[in-house]
Amino acid sequence: MKKNITIILVIGLLGLLAACNDFLDTMPDNRAEVNTVEKVTKLLVSAYPTNSITVIAEMSSDNAMDNGVNFSPYNQEQEDAYLWKDITTTGNDAPKAIWDAHYGAIAAANQALEAIEDMGNPTNLQPQKGEALIARAYSHFVLSTLFCLPYNPETANNDMGIPYSERPETQVSIEYERGTMADLYAKINADIEAGLSLINDAIYSVPKYHFNKKAAYSFATRFNLYYHNYDNVIKYANEVLGPNPANVLRNWAGYDLLASNWQVRADAYINASEAANLLLLPVYSAYPYILGPYSIGQRYGHSRDIMMNESVRASGLWGAYQNQYAFSVWGLEQKFAVPKVGAYFEYTDKVAGIGYLHGVYIGFTTNETLLCRAEAYILKGEFEQGVTDINAWIGNRTRVQENFTKEDIVEFYSNIPYMPLGNIESASQRTVKKELNPQGFIVSDGDQENLIQCVLHLRRIETMHDGLRWSDIKRYGIEIAHNRDGQADDILSKDDPRRAIQLPQDVINAGLAANPR
């Protein structure tokens, strides 16, 4: 589904987002007149970002390594993200495109909210109001996971946030300030709380391309996990998962019955009829090529060493990787891929062979929501409930149908050595377990840490190619190393300012404070 770019252009915001001095501004006489239920509903099609953080987040994380100078990166964004360098290019996966797309989506949400207010906040527009509030919160949240440090209650009053745009601008050259992470998260939370109860799936012809009720509650679940509001995580996850999560988790067993074909399985993964898929986001991105099983962009990738020892094929409570459903991966030694990132090319000129590369990003799934709840239970000290959710995930993803006890899980992960930080001389040194330095919360040694190590292991498998591993690394202060061919490994310490990706240069030029370096 291609976003209705014309609406954003009519309201004069997308182009202005790219300008140096007025990146959030619009002239009042350039705005479309939105004065009916139908127009508001159509406008909200544009309240979803058309670019993704996935390439930057995956390349910045420990899901990628340098495969050597015999291979080339796909583009500069891929290389700079892996090297933790400030990215100054302007491709679809660069900070500028991401910033513009998300603030463009925010602008559409704000325009819809103002139109609803101007029409007297009528009852028949409350579902649209809920969608606009949730969509606005979501784009701010995604930007914060990339351009800011993780929310830490001990430092949130000082850590830099991003501007929270709450109304369509009516003048040019407004001076914006970044504010703090405390301010930013409070505003995101307020929008979520105001919007959740208003969502009504009945207004959507294809609910999974919008913030339907389950998608909204899943977003609230993840946000509250990052916000350390664990009671809310559990409450909202319950709304998504119901009394029996097995009924709504992904049908992994069914994937084994599909043809052993990359595109067939990638198409099945993003199918709107799959109960686990809650929000589908079509985006302009090269991530299907960069992360997929193609002989391009091989310099930095999810290599065999990582796959077999740290991520999707590492041994788990279920034993060897063959005990997982849908364990097939495609690719080359330098980058192995899980069949979930299909490439969809839109030709603008078939003769010339030019057009736009699309991917369909799954914003929220029931499986990830389940792991959010498991993590919240464990951080609250409610270990048995967390273990129940861990077993639900294992029972859904693997052929092993036994219920593991807390003691089983603790013993398994306590026997795994921590992976060394840098200077890896052999693949056997790689493990699924890394030292934790939680940012603003406590994980106690022993049972709690080993249960969290389990959840992080499951999350790494579940969210491969989704970019969420980068947030887990930031939240838990996990120190990682990126090897560099012929050079010493580059260490990303828990306090490294590069954990906050640098803002686009034109935004900095406009006067917004840059991230420290």
pLDDT digits (tens, 9 = 90+) for 13-72: 333 333 333 444 433 334 458 999 999 999 999 999 999 999 999 999 999 999 999 999
The Cα–Cα gap between 421 and 193 comes to 41
What does the pLDDT average to over 224-233?
98
Query: Rounded to two decimals, what is the model's pTM?
Result: 0.93
CB burial of residue 89 (10 Å; 0-12, 13-18, 19+): middle
Q: Which residue has the higher pLDDT, 151 or 352?
A: 151
**Contact in structure between 394 and 405 (CB atoms under 8 Å):** no
Averaged confidence pLDDT in the chain: 92
Nearest-Å Rg of the Cα atoms of the chain is 22
Closest CA to 107 of 192, 161, 31: 31
Residue 351 scores a pLDDT above 90: no
The Cα–Cα gap between 397 and 153 comes to 34
What does the pLDDT average to over 394-417?
96
- For β-strands 300-301 and 65-66, DSSP reports them as antiparallel
**Per-residue burial over 396-434, b = 16 or more CB atoms within 10 Å of its CB, e = otherwise:** bbbbbeeebebeebbebbeeeeebebeebeeeeebbbbb
**Contact in structure between 443 and 436 (CB atoms under 8 Å):** yes
**Per-residue burial over 162-198, b = 16 or more CB atoms within 10 Å of its CB, e = otherwise:** bbbbeebbeeeeeebebebbbebbebbbebbeebbeb
pLDDT at 12: 33
The H or E element that residue 114 is part of is helix 95-118
Amino acid in position 164: Y
The Cα–Cα gap between 50 and 35 comes to 25
| pLDDT confidence band for 339 (50 / 70 / 90) | very high
Condensed to tens digits (0 to 9), the pLDDT of residues 428-445 reads 999 999 999 999 999 999
Question: What residue has token string 């405390």?
Answer: 182
Question: What residue has token string 């940012």?
Answer: 439
In 359-499, alpha helices (H): 366-379, 383-397, 406-414, 447-462, 468-475
The Cα–Cα gap between 51 and 284 comes to 5
Task: Tell me the three state secondary structure of residue 482.
Answer: strand
Task: Please report, for residues 49, 237, 245, 354, 437, the alpha-carbon distance to residue 60 in angstroms, rounded to integers and kept in the order given.
Answer: 21, 28, 32, 29, 18
How many other CB atoms are found less than 10 A from the CB of residue 389? 25
Closest CA to 387 of 401, 411, 368, 403: 403
% the chain with pLDDT above 90? 87
pLDDT at 171: 55
Question: What residue has token string 């969809």?
Answer: 344
- 201, two tokens: 């799936």
Condensed to tens digits (0 to 9), the pLDDT of residues 141-192 reads 999 999 999 999 999 999 999 999 999 976 545 567 899 999 999 999 999 9
The Cα–Cα gap between 313 and 319 comes to 10
Torsion of CA 81, 86, 92, 96, to 10 degrees: 150
Q: Say how many Å lie between the first and final Cα of the chain, rounded.
A: 39
Condensed to tens digits (0 to 9), the pLDDT of residues 279-332 reads 999 999 999 999 999 999 999 999 999 999 999 999 999 999 999 998 889 999
The Cα–Cα gap between 397 and 440 comes to 32
